[in-house]
Amino acid sequence: MKSEPFVYHSPSSVEEVVSLMNEHDHAELVAGNQSLAIQMNNRLATPDHLIDLNGVDELAYVDERDGEIEIGAMTTHKTIANSDAIDRTVPILAEAAQQIAGPSVRNVGTLGGGIGEADPAGNYPTVLTALDATITITSESGDRDVGVDEFFIAYMMTEVGENEMITGATVPTDPFPIGRTGMSFLELKRVPHTWPKLSAAGIVRVDDPTRDDPTVEEARLTFANASDTPLRVEAAESAVEGTSLTDDALEEAAEIAMDSADPADEMQAEAEYKEEQVGIFTKRALREAYDRALDQ
Amino acid sequence: MIDNTSDRPTQEITLTVNGNEITEEVEPRHKLSDFLRYRADETDVRVGCEHGACGACTVEVDGKNVKSCMLFAVQADGSEVLTSKALNDDDELGPIQEAFHENHALQCGFCTSGFIMATKELLEENPDPDREEIVEGLSDNICRCTGYVNIIKAVEDAADRIDTVSQATGDD
């Protein structure tokens, strides 16, 4: 099927995008066009104006600074998956990007698109929630930074308002010292090009990887598709903190995570099945993160 | 089909397709896949699902693969586009196409041009992929006939053929 007619705009700066959004009603921004095109082809989205961000070069960047790393909204999955700076500081983001669909989607799909779509099964919202990132939203009145915990409001709904755009995401790196931090992103899906039924992001920082049974100083645990929005289970994190990730601690974390999950039924994955998997993926993600923290 | 007989607004775009520069008026809602098939007459570009699931319409735009049903033609204005036809070796089959032919890596052939483009990008980035890397590299493409076994063999064979060619010509 073809989309409804629209007027196409191809700005080359954020300033131009902002003024186009203010000028035109019923406008949509298009980034990598790997989801919006489907919605437009099926006439689920019928914008009168399409504002293409692919000519806005200033939004494609990875900027590593002291204590944080900032990634531009138009940075592609492929760039994120292959970035040395991301792999060194927050490797879970590269691992998650590499698992999105296949190569031709990763060539063009973007960070900003994935954040803006806010699909509960999406990789970036869940990983950025684990990393406690900040999303930058830009409009005529300038930039505003919104923490991930406030950004994702409900099923496919975000803090981004009328005439606003996502311009980047910033991740604080101080909580994840290289050498004693491990991260793991795991997906449950039958074939690569579909959305995962469930995903888990686990991060573990230990006190000293060289001693016997290092202690978990800090843990992060989030899930995709276990709820309408990215689910962070802080009580499960607490259950493993201060332990050497014993089986008992993992078991407790898994029970807590399963209780916190509120997944929806979908074809090929009933809610009950997903809940059970939340427990299994809690253990796998935290175990892998812990092993990676020790193995460096 | 795409036509401009309606009064809907159009926009002039110029694309270089397999080396030929083509300027046409298109509606913004027309896909690159429409442009390639109906304006550039590159009917080796196949449209299967028209929503990014099957990969049959995969082409190279400015050096990287995209699903051409997921890109509006106006977005490709000024770009260089290659379809599977560009992999011909003069009028003969090129090494990737030859490998698909020799390994019976198709039955109906509808998906083949997409698989050939996926193979091209995979082997350019990784000239000697293992089986797992081949499966990952082809994961945007669906074949409903073969069960993929012969397609994977064809990619392994294509890697060997390209390796032989580059050794003979002294390329890397």
Q: Which band of pLDDT confidence, cut at 50, 70 and 90, is reported for residue B1?
A: low
Q: Which band of pLDDT confidence, cut at 50, 70 and 90, is reported for residue B172?
A: low
Mean pLDDT of A249-258: 98
Alpha-carbon torsion angle B85, B87, B89, B90, nearest 10: 40
Instruction: Look at strands A198-206 and A7-9 and give their pairing.
Output: unpaired
Query: At residue A260, does pLDDT exceed 80?
Result: yes
- State the smallest CA–CA distance between residue B125 and chain A in angstroms: 11
Quick check: pTM over 0.90?
Answer: yes
ipTM of the complex as predicted: 0.93
Mean pLDDT of B83-89: 95
Q: Which residues 6+ apart lie within 8 Å of A219 measured at CB?
A: A202, A203, A204, A205, A236, A237, A240, A241, A286, A289
Which residues on chain A are in Cβ contact (under 8 Å) with B72? 8, 33, 37, 50
Six token digits for residue A258: 């399963």
Q: Across-strand partners of A28?
A: A50
H-helix segments, A222-270 = 234-240, 247-260
Six token digits for residue B51: 């929503």
- A88-98 b/e (C-beta count within 10 Å ≥ 16 → b): ebbbbbbbbbb
Determine whether the interchain pair B29/A5 forms a contact, defined as Cβ–Cβ distance below 8 Å. Answer: yes
Q: Are A208 and A118 in contact (CB under 8 A)?
A: no
Determine whether the interchain pair B51/A33 forms a contact, defined as Cβ–Cβ distance below 8 Å. Answer: no
Helix (H) and strand (E) counts for chain B? 5, 5
- CA angle, residues A44, A261, A226, in degrees to nearest 5: 35
Task: Give the closest of A1, A6, A104 to B55, CB-based.
Answer: A104
Q: Which H or E element spans position A23?
A: helix A14-23
Query: Touching check for B32 and chain A: CB below 8 Å?
Result: no
Tell me A263's DSSP state. Answer: P
Helix, coil or strand: residue A28: strand
| pLDDT for res A2 | 86
| pLDDT for res B2 | 63
Spans of all domains in chain B:
11-86, 88-167
Mean pLDDT of A168-175: 98
The shares of helix, strand and coil residues in chain A, as percent rounded to the nearest 5, are: 35, 25, 40
How many Å separate Cα A28 from the centre of its chain? 21
Which residue in chain B has the smallest CA separation from A41? B51
Which residue in chain A has the smallest CA separation from B55? A104
| pLDDT for res B168 | 72
Mean pLDDT of B98-123: 97
Nearest in space to B56 (alpha carbons), one of B134, B120, B109: B109
- State the smallest CA–CA distance between residue B50 and chain A in angstroms: 7
Task: Give the closest of B27, B65, B71 to A33, CB-based.
Answer: B71
Which residue in chain A has the smallest CA separation from B65? A104
Instruction: Look at strands B80-82 and B58-61 and give their pairing.
Output: antiparallel
Query: Class for domain B11-86, per CATH?
Result: alpha beta
Question: How many other CB atoms are there within 10 angstroms of residue A272's CB atom?
Answer: 10
Six token digits for residue A278: 């939340």
H-helix segments, B9-148 = 32-34, 95-102, 112-125, 131-137
- State the smallest CA–CA distance between residue B9 and chain A in angstroms: 8
Mean pLDDT across chain B? 93
Task: Give the closest of A2, A8, A102 to B11, CB-based.
Answer: A8
The 10s digit of each residue's pLDDT in A138-163 is 999 999 999 999 999 999 999 999 99
Which residues on chain B are in Cβ contact (under 8 Å) with A103? 65, 118, 121-122, 136-137, 139-140
The 10s digit of each residue's pLDDT in A184-242 is 999 999 888 789 999 999 999 999 999 999 999 999 999 999 999 999 999 999 999 99
CATH topology of domain B88-167: DNA polymerase; domain 1 (1.10.150)
Helix, coil or strand: residue B118: helix
Cα(B63)–Cα(A109) distance, integer angstroms: 16
Q: Which band of pLDDT confidence, cut at 50, 70 and 90, is reported for residue B4?
A: low
Tell me B141's DSSP state. Answer: -
The sign of the dihedral angle between the CA atoms of B147, B148, B153, B154 is: positive
Determine whether the interchain pair B8/A5 forms a contact, defined as Cβ–Cβ distance below 8 Å. Answer: yes
Determine whether the interchain pair A101/B75 forms a contact, defined as Cβ–Cβ distance below 8 Å. Answer: no
Query: At residue A108, does pLDDT exceed 90?
Result: yes
Six token digits for residue A58: 């200033």
A to B CB pairs, distance under 8 Å: 91
Query: At residue B170, does pLDDT exceed 70?
Result: no
B102-108 contact pairs (CB < 8 A, 24+): B102/B154, B102/B157, B103/B150, B103/B151, B103/B153, B103/B154, B103/B157, B104/B150, B105/B146, B105/B150, B105/B151, B105/B153, B105/B154, B106/B143, B106/B145, B106/B146, B106/B150, B106/B151, B107/B145, B107/B146, B108/B145
- State the smallest CA–CA distance between residue B164 and chain A in angstroms: 26
Query: At residue A295, does pLDDT exceed 80?
Result: yes
Mean pLDDT of B7-17: 92
Residue with tokens 């995979």: B122
Which residue in chain B has the smallest CA separation from A36? B70
Which residues on chain A are in Cβ contact (under 8 Å) with B30? 2
Which residue in chain A has the smallest CA separation from B72? A37
- CA angle, residues B6, B8, B13, in degrees to nearest 5: 105
Query: Touching check for B124 and chain A: CB below 8 Å?
Result: no
Determine whether the interchain pair B139/A193 forms a contact, defined as Cβ–Cβ distance below 8 Å. Answer: yes
Determine whether the interchain pair B65/A103 forms a contact, defined as Cβ–Cβ distance below 8 Å. Answer: yes
Mean pLDDT of A46-59: 98
Share of chain B above pLDDT 90, in %: 87
Q: Do domains B11-86 and B88-167 have the same CATH topology?
A: no
How many Å separate Cα A135 from the centre of its chain? 11
Residue B133 dihedral angles phi and psi, to the nearest 5°: -65, -35
Mean pLDDT across chain A? 97
Task: Give the closest of A3, A10, A37 to B52, CB-based.
Answer: A37
The full set of domains in chain A, from first to last, is 7-52 (3.30.43.10), 57-172 (3.30.465.10), 181-294 (3.30.390.50)
| pLDDT for res B155 | 98
Nearest in space to A161 (alpha carbons), one of A138, A133, A129: A138
Q: Are A153 and A229 in contact (CB under 8 A)?
A: yes
Mean pLDDT of B116-126: 98
